[in-house]
């Protein structure tokens, strides 16, 4: 099957290719397909996905785009905190998260081979996938602010008796969406209603969460990037372009429904 035939078939009957795929809304599948095509057309260097391996490799085979596992040990970005004790902060930064083995599309095999095993951070991933620097910096700061709130909560409630327990508790509580820590819940509400929902509304063709500056201002780096991808899609894959816009509206509704009853 040629590329046009495959894309038309996918638009009519999409299948899950994203870790964020869910029934009844194919926004992330259509968006993921666009970014795979951006790589194929040398408009960006990489696209990573945690979607179903069989489906992702099917896309790679049918569209003839190189794809392989990206073995990437992950660490937190370095950070200066006035809240977290320096010893605990150093432990958080030095503690390796579980290696991720996501599938990565690239323009060629060499690109992925050079990355395999190279330690990455949130900022490193943001640079790799060509997100605006302001949004990468905002995401790193936001991630650490979550951990600072979790640190205070764990310490104040005596929920850890050793440094190891404290590290695990910080990671666990900072990763909760709706529960336990009121201050963190309110932060998440703001992020979901603004940095996620407004990103989907204003910039449906990008994958990252836009920072406050990009959401609040016109002609921002995220707006320029979304417009660039949108123009590419509209010109070369008009059906995909239309579906991304339509499905983004469903995604916005899901975000609203998910947080409607949050405490």
Name the E strands within the chain.
46-49, 67-74, 97-106
**pLDDT tens, residue by residue, 175-194:** 876 567 888 888 888 898 88
**pLDDT tens, residue by residue, 202-256:** 999 999 999 999 999 999 999 999 999 999 999 999 999 999 999 999 998 888 8
pTM to 2 decimals?
Answer: 0.92
3-state SS, 94-121, equals HCCEEEEEEEEEECCHHHHHHHCCCCEC
In the predicted model, what is the mean pLDDT of the chain? 91
């Amino acid at each position: 099957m040629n590329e046009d035939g495959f894309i038309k078939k996918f638009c009519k009957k999409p299948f899950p290719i994203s870790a964020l795929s869910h029934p009844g809304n194919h926004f992330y599948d259509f968006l993921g397909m666009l970014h795979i095509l951006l790589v194929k057309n040398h408009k960006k260097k990489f696209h990573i996905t945690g979607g179903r391996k069989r489906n992702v490799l099917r896309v790679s085979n049918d569209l003839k785009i190189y794809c392989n596992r990206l073995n990437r040990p992950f660490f937190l970005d370095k950070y200066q905190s006035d809240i977290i004790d320096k010893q605990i902060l150093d432990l958080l930064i030095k503690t390796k998260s579980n290696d991720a083995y996501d599938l990565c599309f690239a323009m060629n095999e060499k690109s992925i081979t050079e990355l395999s095993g190279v330690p990455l951070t949130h900022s490193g991933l943001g640079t790799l996938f060509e997100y605006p620097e302001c949004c990468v910096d905002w995401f790193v700061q936001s991630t650490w602010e979550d951990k600072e709130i979790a640190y205070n909560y764990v310490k104040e409630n005596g929920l850890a008796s050793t440094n190891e327990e404290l590290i695990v508790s910080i990671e666990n509580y900072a990763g909760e969406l709706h529960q336990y820590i009121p201050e963190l819940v309110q932060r998440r509400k703001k992020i979901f209603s603004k940095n996620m929902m407004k990103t989907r509304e204003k910039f449906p063709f990008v994958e990252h969460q836009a920072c406050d500056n990009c959401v609040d201002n016109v002609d921002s780096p995220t707006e320029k990037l979304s417009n660039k991808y949108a123009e590419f899609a509209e010109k070369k894959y008009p059906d995909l372009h239309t579906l991304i816009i339509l499905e983004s509206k469903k995604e916005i509704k899901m975000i609203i429904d998910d947080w409607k009853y949050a405490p």
